[in-house]
Amino acid sequence: MPPEPPGQEIRFDDIGSYPLPRRVRREEISLDEPYLDMVEDALLQKIFAGVEIPNYPQFRNMIRMFMDPIEDPARSEHPYLIKRDAARIFELEALEKAGSRMMEEGRRLQARVCVTGPVELYQAAFGLTDYSDLLFNMAESVARFLKGALAFRSFDVAVVSVDEPSLGISSNIIFEEDDIETALETTTRPCNGIDCEVHLHSPLFVELCCRVPGINVIGVESAANPDYLRLIDLEMLEEHETYIRAGIARTDIHSLVATLNDRLETNLWAEPERLEREVHGAESPDLMEQRLAEAYRIFGQRIKYAGPDCGLGSWPSQEMASRHLANCARAIKSFRGK
C-alpha cells in the first residue's frame, strides 16, 4: 500500500479580519441585521475561496469590540469583568444563519472563532502598569466570550484563537511570566475538547504558551518571517503535545507593496489593477506551497493548520483578499497531493 501523501492532516483556516465592502466605513457600522448580512456575505466569500475553517469576518476593531462591553457598567459585575449573559460576539449570529442554511443542504459549518487576548486588551487599556487583578478579570471576561461562542448550535467551533500579537513584540508588557501564564490559562479554560490556538506575531513566548494546559496550537507568522520557524523547538512541542499553525501567505500588504514599489520604481497604489497583478504574482500559490513544504520539513505532523499569516482587513478590496485566500487553498491542495 503506497504511503499517504504528506500534509493530509493540515487544515486551512484564516485569521479573521477582512476588507469592508466598498463605500462602507468602520465607524459607520451598526450592530443590526444589515451588518449581519454583510458578515455572512464575507463568510461565504471565504468558504467559496476554499477556506475549510473560516473565522468570522472581523470587521470591527479587535480591541473595542471586546473592551466596549467589558467596560460598560451595565454589562459588568466587577471592574473589567463582564456579565456572563453579556459576553456575546455579535458576528456569530451571522454564522448561525449560514450554518442553518448549510444544515438544510446536508452540510455542517466548521468555524474558527477568535477573541482578543487578555494581555492585548490590558495593554490597550493600561499600558505600562501591572495591575494583575484587572488582568485576571479581563482573562475571565474573554473566557466568558469563548464560552458564549460555544453555545451556538448550527455550526461547530473547530478551533478557537486567543489573539496576542503584542506578546514578544511590545516593550510595554511588564507582567511577570507567571501572571501571563495564569491569565492565558483562565482565558482558555472553556476550550476543553476543541483545538485552542494562541495567535502570536513573535516566537518569543512560544515556550510559555506551550505550558498553558488549554493551548494546543501555536500560530506563527512564518511567511513574512521564515526564520521564526527555526526558533521553535520541535522537542518542546512534542513534550507538551502542542501543534503549529503555519503562516504560508504574507498579509503585511503595506510592506509587501513598498518592496514592490522599490523594485519596480513605481507607485502601485496609484494603479489598482497593476497592484493586484503584482501582489498576486509575488505571493503566488507556488511560493505558498514552498513555504508549507519547508514548515513541514521542520515540524512534520506537528503542523495542524495553515493559512495566511494574519488578517486581511488592511487589503484594498474583498476581491483581492478573496483571491489571496484562493491561492492559499491551491497551495495546500497541491501540497497534499504530493
> pLDDT (tens digit, 9 = 90+) per residue, 126-178?
988 999 999 999 999 999 999 999 999 999 999 999 999 999 888 888 999 99
Buried b (16+ CB within 10 A) or exposed e, 201-236: bbbebbbbbbebebbbbbbbbbbbbeebbeebeeee
User: For residues 139 and 188, what is the distance between their CA atoms, to the nearest angstrom?
Assistant: 9
Residue 293 CB contacts under 8 Å (≥ 6 apart), including other chains: 335
Query: How far lies 228's CA from each of 17, 291, 303, in Å?
Result: 23, 12, 14
Least confident range from 207-211, 320-324, 334-338: namely: 334-338
Alpha-carbon torsion 157, 148, 246, 314, what sign? positive
Res 7: pLDDT: 67
Res 83: pLDDT: 97
Res 173: pLDDT: 87
Res 2: pLDDT: 47
Residues paired with residue 246 on neighbouring β-strands, in sequence order: 220, 306
Tell which residue, 55, 19, 20, has the closest CA to residue 34: 20
Domain assignment present for 6: no
User: For residues 293 and 300, what is the distance between their CA atoms, to the nearest angstrom?
Assistant: 9
Query: How far lies 247's CA from each of 35, 167, 221, in Å?
Result: 29, 17, 5
- Residue in this structure with the C-alpha cell 497592484, named with its chain if needed: 275
pLDDT, tens digit, 9 for 90 and up, residues 86-99:
999 999 999 999 99
Residue numbers of the domain that contains 118 = 11-336
Domain assignment present for 274: yes
The three three-digit cell numbers of residue 78, written as one number = 466587577
Q: What CATH number should be reported for the domain holding residue 313?
A: 3.20.20.210
Res 170: pLDDT: 85
Domain assignment present for 3: no
Domain assignment present for 1: no
pLDDT, tens digit, 9 for 90 and up, residues 36-80:
999 999 999 999 999 999 999 999 999 999 999 999 999 999 999
What's the domain count of the chain? 1
Domain assignment present for 203: yes
Asked whether the predicted pLDDT for residue 187 surpasses 70, the reply is: yes
Asked whether the predicted pLDDT for residue 280 surpasses 50, the reply is: yes
Report DSSP letters for 260-280, one per residue.
Answer: HHHHHTS-GGG-HHHHHHHHH
pLDDT, tens digit, 9 for 90 and up, residues 110-119:
999 999 999 9
Asked whether the predicted pLDDT for residue 3 surpasses 80, the reply is: no
Domain assignment present for 107: yes
Res 11: pLDDT: 96
Asked whether the predicted pLDDT for residue 1 surpasses 80, the reply is: no
Q: How confident is the model at residue 334 (pLDDT cuts 50, 70, 90)?
A: very high
DSSP-derived pairing of the beta strands 76-78 and 81-82: antiparallel
Domain assignment present for 240: yes
Residue 133 CB contacts under 8 Å (≥ 6 apart), including other chains: none
Residues of the chain above pLDDT 90, percent: 91
